[in-house]
Chains A and B, each alone.
Chain A
């Protein structure tokens, strides 16, 4: 196990240290694959995005200024690469993944809702369209424009759906 922290490894990558890139890849590629998989159903596309992401990490390691987790920085690159790829591929091949949780029974859903508290339940009650917008903007940290590219809807629609989602969440939580 390499003793370097992520930030140190990234600094080394900035000086063209290939081993340091390998260290970061081993630490961060797996979760990136899993997280992208929840947003894109095409495994080949996910692989391509992961590849592009680490190539970008190699090339732009110098632009990391030590603010925030390296993981968050890598995710920022990865999710934007995903958007770039989705924009280039025709729409039906890669869509935001619909919940596989459909397989879970209603009871399970309800039980989990209790477990994770009000926000989780409220989030779960949002329609898939609204939830996708919340996920893209709030949880994945995308801008309205990036979210509109990811979800293939106009930015105006992202804004109105975000407003509706906020209103619904407020109603359920307050």
Chain B
């Protein structure tokens, strides 16, 4: 390119002492002319450019933010909380895929007739229990040791993850229920056992590893529902008011135990 901006005009442009037409013509030229760009470069403070560059590198180096974390930030969570929640093993997309797979079988079973309803009611409440158990503790959480050492209350982390896992599990469970032919009261009968078993698992986790606690609780649940499905040809006994009340009481007791023993989480000894 043979035409170039006069150096005096470039200086005036840098100082903001040119009219709009000149500025526009300089800007249009500079965009395409490496020589004139080079002349402009010294006009900007080197230290300032280096500072901005350091920030560019920081941002570029930061690990990519996953779908779950972006969603949580969109919901208004602070970045640190969003990161801690997104690191939850049972809030990963692969986990959700597995949950959807399990629930899909439950839905298919419910459509198959017979004791299919019971099969769905067997599976649906287990999802949040296992999810919560996998959300913390030395067995599953890859950031467990960091979390124990961090100046962040373990109970707060535990409860935040529990709420997130339970909410997402109930959402998926609810969607799955809508796809089954189960109607009326029985369709929501799994909610109370789900919450009760989650609470009991948390209470037991103050003493044992969360996954072991979840294993014990879900085993007990399987025995209860399968025995019932064998005995009664009618609706699952789980949906009966007396049984539901029993689950509510169990949940209350479990939450009381959890509140009393909450300090065990802070020391990291969930064994």
* Chain A contacts to B: CB under 8 angstroms: 6, 18, 21-22, 25-31, 33-35, 37-38, 47, 50-51, 54-55, 58, 69, 71-72, 75, 97, 99-101, 103-104, 109, 112-113, 116, 119-121, 123-124, 131, 135, 139
Task: Point out which of B20, B34, B37 has the most chain A C-beta atoms below 10 A from its C-beta.
Answer: B20
- Minimum distance in angstroms from A169 CB to a CB of chain B: 11
Contact yes or no, A51 B56, CB < 8 A: yes
With the chains together, A79 CA to B97 CA distance in Å? 41
B49-71 residues with Cβ-Cβ distance < 8 A to A are 49, 51-53, 55-57, 59-60
- Minimum distance in angstroms from A120 CB to a CB of chain B: 3
Contact yes or no, A120 B14, CB < 8 A: no
Residues of B contacting A116 with CB < 8 Å? 19, 21-22, 25
B1-60 residues with Cβ-Cβ distance < 8 A to A are 13-14, 16-25, 27-28, 30-32, 34, 37-38, 40-44, 48-49, 51-53, 55-57, 59-60
Contact yes or no, A135 B13, CB < 8 A: no
With the chains together, A27 CA to B32 CA distance in Å? 12
Closest to A113 in B: B19
With the chains together, A25 CA to B19 CA distance in Å? 28
Contact yes or no, B52 A47, CB < 8 A: yes
Residues of A contacting B43 with CB < 8 Å? 30, 34
Residues of A contacting B30 with CB < 8 Å? 31, 35, 71
- Given contact pairs A34-B40, A112-B22, enumerate 9 new A-B contacts (beta carbons under 8 Å): A6-B34, A30-B43, A30-B44, A34-B14, A51-B59, A101-B16, A113-B19, A120-B21, A123-B21
Contact yes or no, A54 B21, CB < 8 A: no
Contact yes or no, A131 B49, CB < 8 A: no
Given A29-B44, A71-B32, answer yes or no on A51-B52 (Cβ-Cβ < 8 Å).
yes
* Chain B contacts to A: CB under 8 angstroms: 13-14, 16-25, 27-28, 30-32, 34, 37-38, 40-44, 48-49, 51-53, 55-57, 59-60
Given A31-B37, A34-B44, A71-B32, answer yes or no on A99-B20 (Cβ-Cβ < 8 Å).
yes
Residues of A contacting B57 with CB < 8 Å? 18
Contact yes or no, A135 B24, CB < 8 A: yes
- Minimum distance in angstroms from B42 CB to a CB of chain A: 8
Residues of B contacting A18 with CB < 8 Å? 57, 60
Contact yes or no, A71 B23, CB < 8 A: no
- Minimum distance in angstroms from A100 CB to a CB of chain B: 4
Residues of A contacting B52 with CB < 8 Å? 29, 47, 50-51, 54
Q: Which 8 A-B pairs have the closest CB atoms?
A: A120-B21, A100-B16, A71-B31, A30-B41, A30-B44, A139-B24, A123-B21, A54-B56
Neighbour of A30 across the interface among B18, B27, B40, B55, CB < 8 A: B40
Residues of B contacting A69 with CB < 8 Å? 31-32
Given A31-B37, A38-B16, A120-B22, answer yes or no on A72-B49 (Cβ-Cβ < 8 Å).
no
- Minimum distance in angstroms from A39 CB to a CB of chain B: 10
Contact yes or no, B31 A112, CB < 8 A: no
Contact yes or no, B17 A139, CB < 8 A: no
With the chains together, A75 CA to B31 CA distance in Å? 8
Residues of A contacting B48 with CB < 8 Å? 33, 47
- Minimum distance in angstroms from B74 CB to a CB of chain A: 15
Given A103-B17, A104-B17, answer yes or no on A58-B60 (Cβ-Cβ < 8 Å).
yes
Residues of A contacting B21 with CB < 8 Å? 116, 119-121, 123-124
Residues of A contacting B55 with CB < 8 Å? 47, 51
Given A123-B20, A124-B20, answer yes or no on A27-B37 (Cβ-Cβ < 8 Å).
yes
Residues of A contacting B38 with CB < 8 Å? 27
With the chains together, A28 CA to B43 CA distance in Å? 13
